[in-house]
Amino acid sequence: MDSNLAEKPAAAMPETGSVRPRLPIRALLIRYGFLALLAGLIIFFSHATRGFASPQAAVFILQSVSITGILALGVTATLVVGGFDLSIGSIATSAMMAAAYVMVVLEQNALVAVLACLAIGALVGLINGIIICYMRVPDLLATLGMMFLLIGLQRIPTEGRSIAAGMTMPDGSTAQGAFSPAFLALGRHRFDLFIPNLVPAAVVVLIVLAVLIWFFLEYTRFGRMMYAVGSNARAAEFAGAPVKAYKIWAYVISGMFASIGGILLAARLGRGDIASGNNLLLDAVAAALIGFAVLGAAKPNAFGTAIGALFVGVLLQGLTMMNVPYYTQDFVKGAVLVIALVFTFALLGRNGR
């Protein structure tokens, strides 16, 4: 048997399946290229600007990507099952408005507000999943429709007004409630880490969720089956997997992560701002797609998504500190995304979505 093994390595390669041995340098580039680029950026900005290489700047970067990062981790779950969720941005803003409404108008406490937001996220995710799996609406279209629906829905209770303590209600009365201090702490409290008042709560939430979803996708049975569904749904079905259930769960996860992002947004702003959160969707999707290129994965993965979000944050912070004008930010993000996608699909030769 062993002689047989030794005799015909790569002998009977099929016409389609054969892979030419890659040069080690190319393999290294594919695997570590993006991480090396990130390290290079950090070193460059540390030398080129004053104050970039400080704990405060590092924390600031993490804080700036915390909300989009959380949304990106959620959308990664839907990418894993071969889907897509365009409604995450509007789920986040809806959750923000809901939190403000629950506390300011309904005069409830922080816990009720948080639970209401999570319930909204889970419910919207569930509806997305059901529309996609049982009504056979393509994922992009279903979640696009849901996005519009939520953008409109979140304006109805207050007739299009932003929600803040002491606001005038549509019926002329004044809202009696206010943002509870416990809720605002989610956005403003800073934990001590060697330096007092260093790490914001939002950053802690981001890191905890990133580790959780990474472990969930990489190491649990559920995560593995989600990858199987995304890679070959029919094979997963023939292996006994309830394919639709896994897909619906992915949208529920995505919805709940987005609503957590919305909670943090509300806590940071301290009001339900009708005009905020416009960029959340695009930034989050960009981070998740940039993640394809990290470690040569060529598929959605939580670690890559986190690195993708960080990459954008480092780049924007560094450029800002070098006095590059703010209006170039979207251009920079877009360029990074395009380069990462070319890297993923051209160099790795995979054709995913």
Partner 1 sequence: MADDAIFRIAGLGKAFGPNAVLRGVSLELRAGEVTVLMGANGAGKSTLVKVMSGVHHADGGSMQLGGNPFAPATPAEAMGAGVVTVHQNIDDGVVGALDVATNLVLDQLNAAGQGIFFNPRSIRRRAREIADRMGLELDLSAEVADLSLADRQMVAIARAMAHRPRVMILDEPTSSLSSNEAERLFTLIEHLRAQGVAILYISHRMSDIRRVADRIVSLRDGRIVGRFEDRPLDYEGAVNAMLGRSLGPRNITSKAATQPVFAAEGLQLVSGALPFSFELGAGEVVAVVGLVGVGKTRMAETLFGIHAPVDGQMRLDGRPYAPANPAVAIRDGVFLVAKDRAKTGIVPDFNIYQNMSLPFLRRFSQFGVARRRAERAAARRQIADLNVVCRSERDEPATLSGGNQQKVAVARWLSQPSRMLILDEPFQGVDIAARHDIAAKLRESAADRATLLFLTELDEALETVDRMLVMSEHTIVGEYLNREGDIDRLLADVAGGGRSAA
Q: Which residues bind partner 1 (CB under 8 A)?
A: 1, 4-5, 8-15, 17-19, 219-222, 224-225, 227-228, 230-232, 234-242, 299
Output 191 or 222, the one with its CB closest to partner 1.
222
For residue 81, the minimal CB distance to partner 1 (Å) is 12
The distance of closest approach from Cβ of residue 22 to partner 1 in the complex, given in angstroms and rounded to an integer, is 11
Q: How far is the CB of 204 from partner 1 (least distance, A)?
A: 24
**Alpha-carbon gap, residue 308 to 6, rounded angstroms:** 42
280 or 302: CB nearest partner 1: 302
Cα–Cα distance between 154 and 89 in angstroms, integer? 12
Q: How many residues does the chain have?
A: 353
Q: Which is nearer to partner 1, 91 or 226 (CB)?
A: 226
55-80 vs 302-321: helix crossing angle, rounded to 10: 140
CB 136 to partner 1: min, Å: 17
Distance, in Å, from the CA atom of 124 to the CA atom of 149, rounded to the nearest integer, reads 11
Give the residue from 268, 217, 171 showing the smallest Cα distance to 78: 217
Please, what's the b/e burial string for 18-39 (b: 16 or more CB within 10 A of its CB; e: otherwise)?
eeeeeeeeeeebbeebbeebbe
Rounded to 10 degrees, what is the CA torsion of 61, 279, 33, 206?
A: 50
- Of 172 and 240, nearer to partner 1 (C-beta) is 240
Residue with the two structure tokens 């994965």: 297
CB of 298 to partner 1, least distance (A): 9
Closest separation between CB of residue 219 and partner 1, Å?
A: 5
Of the pair 10, 275, the CB lying nearest partner 1 is at 10
Cβ neighbors of 258 (< 8 A, separation 6 or more) are 70, 71, 74, 85, 87, 88, 89, 91, 92, 95, 121
